[in-house]
Structure formats: structure tokens, C-alpha cells
Structure 1
């Protein structure tokens, strides 16, 4: 596994980020349609579920928080039910360092997306701008000045909705002159922030086109690779991370060769907030001292994870770590890899089933056993003893098949989701794996039912359910070996 990159992510938790920007409440209404309205012959959508999510700058704050950073969040809400929902969501997600201001002059910005069976149909917006009086603006300025002193970096999330006033920009310029902090800006107007000389900006292709005054080209990558100096002249940004969605990211600095970072193609379920996820991870990677390549790699991994979710995009620290781990098919090569996988699956409320064995000469009993085990949960992870471990447990002439061959057989089974080798001279039990995976169910064959399992202490401590499954009679590796040896002796006797 890439320990250097994972170590960078581990450093996220020490970073203190001040987020300032436009709050948006994202609502999702999922519906089905099976009938027409009799009065007008129009489709009737039956709402089957409703979800509210933190959007806009709040999604930035949530992504930073989920990636391990300490977040201080400043924004303005209306005085309405959406504001109540916003506060409840912020508190529920554990974002407690809040400087929230309220205005009577406008409603809390809300975007409601109407979907049919997961497919987006319409978006209904409440409010286009957030407006507030001078008193609220002065209170905002005081909070920005107060929060600035205790942060490692500032993240401005400007959706053009009115929260970021020119007074806030002027104040940040004065604060930076006294104490220059890392500044990440996500905005539709980067020239507005030129006086701040941002550390990082993240225009998308359309925003960059507008900024440099060019028309779209068929080859977006080649076109955008030449923009770094133009964008610098207009923004004075130190690092420009230009996002091209499926075409990846172009990373550039003034007077340097641009880096094009490609991304893997994945199923896209929802792109709302993916830019927030990208820049949140990029900023934290920068603060952790990552190279330009690693910043792009980490940020793209976070954004790729987020767009595969159904609602407004977020990525957690375990999800990011798991996406960064080099995985060969179903094989997990290290206990830390298993831990990252399990953390991700637990967040997704997946039920993990774990079993282990030598699986030396694979037979129908093994196949039946693993199919039964898989039916007990959502994910089946199989621990397989290393060659040295099998040798210690089974004797000098075992294993018959090497670890690589045994893993290859297990990988080919539809019932098996992941395989991980284990075994050490001081401990040939899978106790360490169980501790890392924290499975809901641990499966063994029924021949262990009347024995005290060597993993009992860790299973009891984690309150893991233990299930004993029946084996198919007369099917075992030992019996197969005995039959082969018996047949060999018979054949040799006939020959002699």
C-alpha cells in the first residue's frame, strides 16, 4: 500500500480551517410514477423519500470535517424552517464551531431536486441571493477577524449569493498582510480575489473559459494546458487546479509546466458538491506538505468517491484512504488496507461477514460453505493462511497449493468479495484481522462447534456473532489427499 500518501491523509486531522461562504440547503425528493392525474392527464409523482443535505459552503465544511480537519464555519441564514434544518444538520454532523448569522431580508437559500427512481427531473429554488443589513455585516466582520487568528487556512466558498462582501475581502487582505495564511478560493469570479493572491483556486472549464476570454475547443486538455499564465495574471493565484470533470485536472503554477492528472472512469450518480470535495481534500493535502502530484491524486480520489453517492457529495477519511490504496482485484495485502475497507463499509452500514481457512485443495465443500457464509451479510471477506502458516498448522508436506494459487481460486468465486492472507510465527490465528475488520458475523465450520475458538477473546470484546456452518460429508482436503495417496499405492502395486 502507498504509505506515504496515507500518511499525508493522517495529517489532515491536525489542521484548523476557517470556512466562509454561501449556505445552501440541498433537498432531494425521490418519487415513482405509476399513474396519471384524471383531471388533466399529467403524470402523478408519488414521493417515496425526502433527504436534506448541507450544500454550498456548508458542504465544504462537512467535507473538511469528514476528512478529519477541525472546522470553524461562518455564514448567513434566513429566519425560516430551512434555517432550523440547517442548524440541526450542522450539529448532527458534529460541526460545532459555528458563527451563524440570521437575516430577515431573505430566505435561506434552498435547492430542491425532484427525482424519479433516482433520475433528476427538476430543481426548484427558494431564494437567489442572501441579503442582510449593515449590523449583520459588521457582526460577520468581527467573527471573521476573531476566527482568522486561530486557523491554519481560510476557505472561501463563494457561490455568488451575497455572503462574501467586498468588506470581508478588504478585511482578509489586511489580516493577510499581518499574518499570511493559506487561502483557498472557490468562486465564479476569481478576479474579485486578485488582491488576496490566493494560495489555491479551482476554476472549472467553463469558468476558466470566461476568465481567459476564449471559446470552447474540441481538445479541452490541450487548450487548457496553455492557460496558467493568463489565469495567474487575472487572479494572482499561486496554484491553479483547473477541473475538467471526466478529463481530469490540470494543475499549474506561474511560469511552470502544467501537470495533467487523469482520472478513472466511474459510475456517476450525483455531481452536486464534487468540486467542494475536491478542493477540501486538495487544501488539506497542501497543508500536509504534499507534492503537486500527490495533491491532485488525493483530491481526485476524494471527488471520485463522492460522485458515486446519491446525494450532495462528501468523502470521509476512511473512504479516501481506501480509494488511495492500490488494490489488485479482490486481494487486500495488508491489515491496514483491511482496516480502511472496513471503516468505509461500516460508514455505508454494510454487514461484514468474515471467515478464514487454509483452502489448500479447493473442493465442493469449500464452495458450499462460502456461499452460505456470503448469505449471512453484505460483504464476505476471507482470510487465507500463508504458506508458512499452513506448514506450521498442517505439517511439513503442506500446503499442496501455494498461497498465490489458493488466492487465485478464491478470487474467482462470486461469493467472495475480498481475500486477505494472514499468519505469523507468533500467532497463526486471524485475531488481528478480526480486530481490524470488526465484522458483524464470524463463520466457522461446525467441526469447531465443540471447541474453544482461539479468537474467542477478540470476538467477545467486539460482540461479533459466531455462526457454525455444516460441511458437506466426506469432503475435506485431508480426505482428498488420503484418497490420492491410496490410489497411488494401488496403481504402483498393479504396476509392480
Structure 2
């Protein structure tokens, strides 16, 4: 039976997997308009506003990918006591995502990335954020909220955007509690110290992140990637490291084996958000009962679909099956 056929069979018989996403939540705020003249006040374009929109960003990209795949999703993180935080919760509720584990910190703003676009070009980005670590009291409250959610989850994803949620102490408490209860943790990492992810089942950096965290001079070749991964295995004791290699596909590595999955895309327009798609798809298909190499194969096809789109995009199980069949890898 091919992977595509196995997916089709499981779609008919398996229940929807319940996946918990813990991460740095944010709003992507878009201001779009037209620009045909420069300001008399400064050498900058004047943008005539046409439209404004708010979408989920950060860990919310993983959430949206899971929703599109058909998972039942619970999300946890921190927002501010402001209109953007309230808007974020509204969007989650509209997507039927459980958000009871999202806490409000009145002393920080909701992270917002505002992009000003005109004529299809981004002119400016404004970041509204506070990336300091959570207070000990807020960490304890978040962990208490998370414990029942972890127990209910089929898979746990840590989506780290380096915005203050994942202190080493809290991250270790989360992974430790999940491991004690036989829950696999998949990490999309950030920063230079991966030791805080020690005990995770899988860590998924991209090539650049891997090289920076391993502090190696080059990750240009697959041999370089393997050497860098050895450093990360020592830091994390993870069972697997999956490295996304952009237009070259992805690599699945354990301490003893490796497998290179070539890219499935026929064209590449934008890799924005592809890492979030990969993490979501791996978690979804593993929660459905697939082995990690099968889940990564499906995720590789999912990434090939979304990088044909401009901006962060999502895909469906049906589209993944079709892509597998069309490329004769199903």
C-alpha cells in the first residue's frame, strides 16, 4: 500500500487527532494600498489605504495548518490585554480552536507584525512586542493550564519564535510532564541554546538555524548537516532531528541513521511559513499513526504545495494525496 493509499484509508477510519500547540502567538497586521507619489515631508512614498486585515502569525501559522489538515487543535500561549489580543482570540474561536490555555499578561502587548504593502511590494514592517521572559508566577499558571491539555493531546508541538514563552525552566517542565505521560513533543526551535529542548522527541530546525545553533562554519553540504546534527543530538538527546533544506527538501536524522527527502515542488515562489506547514503535517500524520519517515514524506509534499503560494499558506489532506499521485511518489 502506498502512503497516499494509507492516508486515504486512515481518513475513512481514524478519529481526528487532537494536537496541542504551545507557542508564541502573534497577529500579522496588513495595511495595503497604492503609492503613486512621494511625501513632501520626507523622501518616502505616500500610501493611499485600501484595506486592513489581521491574521494569525507565529505559532498561529502552525494552528492554521493543523486546522486545514482536519485536526482538532488546542493552543496555548501569552497575549496582552489589548485589542489585538482580543482579536487573536476571536480568530481562534472562529476556527474552532480551543484557547482556554491562552493566558493574558497585562504587562506586555500582544505581539503584532504590521506590514505596509503597495503594488505588491512591502514598504515597511513595524513590530510591536516585548520578548522578556514570563514571570515565575505566570510560568507556574501556564504550566497548570497546560497539564490537562497535554494529557488530552495526541501530539504536542512547541512553536518557539523567541518571544519569551519558552524559558529553559518552563520548557523543561513541559517536555518532562509530556514525556512522563508518553506524549511525543515536536519542537520548531529558535535561538542558539537547544539544550532547553532536552528530551523532546523531534527537533525541526531549518538549515540556517541548525548551523547557528551547532556553531559550525558551514552547513552547505549534506555532510555538513550531518556533522551539525551531531552537536544538536548531544544538546537535546532528541530521537530525531528533521532539517528543512528549502529547495533541496528535508533530511531526517537519528543518531544512527539518516534519510534525505528531495524536494517535491515543481516551482518555488515563497518559502514563508513552509516550516510551520512541515511541523504541522509531521505532527498530524504521526498522530494518525504513521511512522516518522512516512509523516515526513507527507510533510514534504505539503511543503511543496505551500511554497507555490505567496505568503504563509496551508494545504489539505486531499491536496497532499493528489500531489503524491501526480508526482508518482504516493
TM-score band, normalised by the shorter chain?
0.7 to 0.9
Q: Which moved more, 1:309-318 or 1:110-119?
A: 309-318
8 Å contact kept, 1:8–1:285: no
> Which residue in the other structure is 1:297 paired with?
297
* 2:65 paired residue number: 63
Aligned pairs for 1:86-485 (under 5 A) are 86-129=88-131, 132-176=134-178, 178-189=180-191, 191-195=194-198, 197-216=199-218, 219-269=220-270, 271-326=271-326
TM-score (norm. length: structure 2): 0.88
In structure 2, the CA distance between the partners of 1:287 and 1:177, relative to structure 1 (3 Å rule), is: closer
- Aligned equivalents of 1:98, 1:214: Cα separation in 2: 41
Give runs of aligned pairs for residues 10-25 of structure 1, distance below 5 A. 14-25=16-27
Give the 3 Å change call, closer, same or farther, for CA 159–13 of structure 1 in structure 2: farther
Cα shift at 1:203:
0.7
> Take 2:149 and 2:244, find their aligned partners in 1: how far apart are those partners?
30
TM-score normalized by the length of structure 1? 0.60
Unaligned runs of at least 5 residues, structure 2: none
Rounded Cα–Cα distance in structure 2 between residues aligned with 1:245 and 1:296: 14
Indicate if the aligned counterparts of 1:113 and 1:122 stay in contact, CA closer than 8 A: yes
Aligned-residue CA RMSD in angstroms?
2.6
CA distance, structure 2, for counterparts of residue 249 and residue 9 of structure 1: 25
Specify the SS of the correspondent of 1:214: coil
Query: Per-residue deviation at 1:310?
Result: 3.7
Candidates 17, 28, 40, aligned match of 1:26: 28
| Separation in structure 2 between the aligned mates of residue 4 and residue 318 of structure 1, nearest angstrom | 13
- SS of the residue 1:258 aligns to: strand
Matched position secondary structure for 2:258: coil
Equivalent residues in 2 for 1:26-65, closer than 5 Å: 26-40=28-42, 42-65=44-67
The answer as to whether partners of 1:19 and 1:57 remain within 8 angstroms in 2 is yes
Q: 1:224, 1:319 → 2: CA distance? A: 30
Range 15-24 or range 225-234, more displaced? 225-234
Q: How much has 1:97 moved relative to structure 2?
A: 4.5
CA distance in 2, matches of 1:146, 1:80: 27
* Residues 109 and 130, structure 1, Cα contact 8 Å, conserved in 2: no
Say whether the 8 Å CA contact 1:11–1:288 is kept in structure 2. Answer: no
Q: For the Cα contact (< 8 Å) 2:92–2:99, is it kept in 1?
A: no
Aligned residues: 325
